[in-house]
Amino acid sequence: MTRDQYTFTNPAELYTDFAPKKQHQPEPGLDSELQPQADLGEKTYRGMGRLAGRKALITGADSGIGAATAIAFAREGADVAMSYLPEERADAERIAQIIREAGVKVLTLPGDLRDAAYCRDLVEKAVEGLGRLDILVNNAGKQIYNEDLTTIDDEQFDDAFKTNVYAMFWITKAALPHLVPGSAIINTTSVQAYKPSEILVDYASTKATINAFTKALAQQLAPKGIRVNAVAPGPIWTPLQVTDGQPPEKLAEFGAQTPIGRAGQPAELAPAFVFLASAESSYVIGETLNVNGGTPTP
């Protein structure tokens, strides 16, 4: 390894050769087809035992932010249960292999989060397979841009809320009886929660809901010793963006509007999830950790 996440570097000069081209993939998209490839930390993330012996369930763990988080958790010593869609098997298998190479256990549990029965079964299988559960990362998400509200059909609106909000509710509800004091729940929200784009009305609404859910539930569970927090990414290079998350012609300038002047990579998100999962953040509760290249937040 030449560089790892602790190497002293100028963050404005990281990934400066990154140049996304105009491209498009059908949903849910594959990391393996992204041009250029995203950095999931495969070559750079160095574990320090910060999650030794922990048991984590991560949704959307096949690609993007969830995959980078899964790799980081594994290298920090956690066993990982991965949720993803069956179509994403190739991406998921690659991440599962990296997790195995870290010397921890991995479970691959494909299914559709819009289905409440799958969400409940996912939790049961994770608990059964890992023996316990003490980290839950609700990270899967759906984002489809739309310039005109009158053309968002009910199915699209429903899908966005089912995937981004209902699944988080179903999974968290099913997981709670299993979570012991010391456990952590981390939800992936977005800068869209408070700086919504005009073309992401439904998506931004789901992300604002996730923030409120996180802060309300955090207060309810704090006395039980279960911490609930959120990570709010800015523009990050993942399959979500090339599967109609953004208009394809806008991809070339993706992330350029941030103060740091570039898009983020999934590898730059993973340490935020590690921090919120680990016992070192014991007094951090109901917080939204923004990882967005400098965009001011409330």
Closest by CA position to 273, among listed 76, 28, 63, 130: 76
When the beta carbons of 47 and 235 are compared against ligand NAD, the nearer one is 235
Task: Report in angstroms how near the CB of residue 88 gets to ligand NAD at its nearest.
Answer: 5
**Quick one: what does residue 85 bind among Mg ion, ligand NAD, none, with the CB cut-off 5 to 8 Å set by partner type?**
ligand NAD
CA distance linking residue 139 with residue 82, whole number of Å: 11
123: its two tokens: 């939790």
- What phi and psi, each to the nearest 5 degrees, are found at residue 103? 85, 15
CA distance linking residue 163 with residue 156, whole number of Å: 11
List binders of Mg ion among 57-86 (CB under 5 A). Answer: 62-63
Closest by CA position to 211, among listed 288, 114, 279, 155: 288
| CA 236 from centre of chain | 11
**Going by DSSP bridges, is the β-strand pair 106-108/55-59 parallel, antiparallel, or unpaired?**
unpaired
Task: Report in angstroms how near the CB of residue 207 gets to ligand NAD at its nearest.
Answer: 7
CA distance linking residue 298 with residue 62, whole number of Å: 31
- Does 142 interact with ligand NAD (rule: CB under 6 A)? yes
**Quick one: what does residue 163 bind among Mg ion, ligand NAD, none, with the CB cut-off 5 to 8 Å set by partner type?**
ligand NAD
- Does 211 interact with ligand NAD (rule: CB under 6 A)? no
11: its two tokens: 């963050």
79: its two tokens: 């066993």
Among 140, 165, 230, 251, the residue binding ligand NAD under the rule CB under 6 A is: 140
When the beta carbons of 47 and 233 are compared against ligand NAD, the nearer one is 233
Residue 109 DSSP symbol: -
Among 41, 235, 271, 293, the residue binding ligand NAD under the rule CB under 6 A is: 235
Question: Which amino acids are annotated catalytic?
Answer: 203
Number of amino acids touching Mg ion (CB under 5 A): 3
Contact present, 135 and 56 (Cβ < 8 Å): yes
* Interaction mask 21-60, ligand NAD, x per CB under 6 A: -------xx------------------------------x
Q: Summarize as ranges the residues that interact with ligand NAD (CB under 6 A).
A: 28-29, 60, 62-66, 84-85, 88, 112-114, 139-143, 163, 188, 190, 233, 235-236, 238-241
Q: Summarize as ranges the residues that interact with Mg ion (CB under 5 A).
A: 62-63, 88
